[in-house]
Amino acid sequence: MSKTALLFAGQGAQAVGMGKDLAEQFPTAKGWFERANAAVGYDLASICFAGPEAELTKTENAQPGIFLVSWVAWQLLQERVPSLSFEATAGLSLGEFTALTAAGVLSFEEGLKVVRQRGRFMQEACEVTRGGMAAVIGLEETATREVCAAAGVELANLNCPGQLVISGAADKIEKACELAKAKGAKRALPLTVAGAYHSALMASAKPKLQAELAAVRLQTATVPVISNVTAQPHGTSVEIQSRLVEQVTSSVRWEESMRYLLAQGFTRFIELGPGKALSGFMKRIEPMAQMLNVADAASLEATVKVLG
């Protein structure tokens, strides 16, 4: 029997127009966007639909925006394929909050509000530090760790074979890119981001997120949810809380998380939310895995057709 895991998009997947066709074509989607606006107290939906890009890219809007579109994609898929069952969830960085919400740990409103605050706290950390990130392509992990140690930066994302992301002070990232190329990286490209996510430069966001999570009652997950920090299923609600706080400055162990699920017999993965980054990573991790996605009306129809 094939096992299905839901995968939720992370920051960087945002694009102006995301969710717009879903809201226009499906009353359920329109309802969720309205509910989200009421929960956060501003027109998040129109920032998703119409931007401007500078507004959507702000961490405090991008994070709840991606959470919202990913959630809507999941609700519509459930509505169209009521028989669909899933046995685990996972999400990249902020997507871990969507994964926990899909597994019943948080309510939709709680998840959205926490993610909105998380984005705000991380934005504040970005503003007081001059940080950056870079993608390192075609260099293995050990060599990349050596580069990080030599340049004084950190390994932020272990996405898939041959694609890692480093994070740290902007001037040090520049040096790290030069070192990575000298070590044989095919490419080392600075990313257009507000700051050094998943590095020590985000530390000021942690106590604020801790306080935010302490005010929410986390429920028991209905299925295993894979932690970015450990690449293993989350444990008790106390552990979930501490892992989510730790995640702000820790590496995202995505490839390891996917290999854990594959080893547990998962063969079908459904990416929910804008973009197809997670599908791309899976192609490099396990090309034989069945990868579906729901990002807009067309991909929803295509996935419903396969599952139907």
Q: Which listed residue (70, 83, 85, 198) is catalytic?
A: 198
Rg (alpha carbons) of the chain, rounded to whole number: 18
To the query of whether residue 299 is one of the catalytic residues in this protein, the response is: no
**47-70 residues labelled b (16+ CB within 10 A) or e (exposed):** bbbebeeeebbbbbbbbbbbbbbb
Residues present in the chain in total: 308
To the query of whether residue 46 is one of the catalytic residues in this protein, the response is: no
Q: Is 278 within 8 Å of 11 (Cβ atoms)? A: no
Structure tokens at 228: 């970015």
Cα angle, residue 70 at apex, residues 165 and 305 outer, rounded to 5°? 110
Q: Which listed residue (70, 93, 227, 251) is catalytic?
A: 93
Contacts (Cβ under 8 Å, ≥6 apart) of 66 = 9, 10, 11, 13, 14, 18, 94, 95, 98, 273, 274
Integer Cα distance of 169 and 229 in angstroms: 22
- Exposed / middle / buried, residue 110 (Cβ in 10 Å: 0-12, 13-18, 19+): buried
Closest CA to 274 of 255, 257, 297, 254: 297
Active site positions, annotated: 93, 198
